[in-house]
Amino acid sequence: MRITCPYCGTRSSHEFAYLGDATPTRPSPDTPDVASTFHAYVYERDNPAGPLDELWYHTAGCRRWLKVARDTRTHEILAVAFARKDETSLPEGME
């Protein structure tokens, strides 16, 4: 599988570290049933068949988090963007 990093270009997926589903949002620590809410956030994940937004880290490249839309049935990459919306250039010291 090949992933096109917005900064580095098309690279083998072996250059990346996979985190997983990008859709869960970290719950507030003020949530009434915080232990079970955090347990669900950390451990309980769906396993959808089809398009899914995932987080990948470009370990052997620009060392940035990417949001990759991938079809889990075919591994087709549908879209790639920096995970942080305000990122458009390299981090300091990487020029």
List interacting residues with Zn ion (CB under 5 A).
Answer: 5, 7-8, 58, 61-62
- Side-chain-side CA neighbours of 52 within 13 Å: the count stands at 19
44 vs 95 by CB, closer to Zn ion? 95
Instruction: Tell the smallest beta-carbon distance from residue 1 to Zn ion (Å).
Output: 15
Instruction: Tell the smallest beta-carbon distance from residue 64 to Zn ion (Å).
Output: 6
Instruction: Tell the smallest beta-carbon distance from residue 34 to Zn ion (Å).
Output: 36
39 vs 63 by CB, closer to Zn ion? 63
Concatenating the DSSP letter of every residue in 14-80 gives GGSEEEEES---PPPTT-TTHHHHHHHHHH-----SSEEEEEEE-TTTT--EEEEEEETTT--EEEE
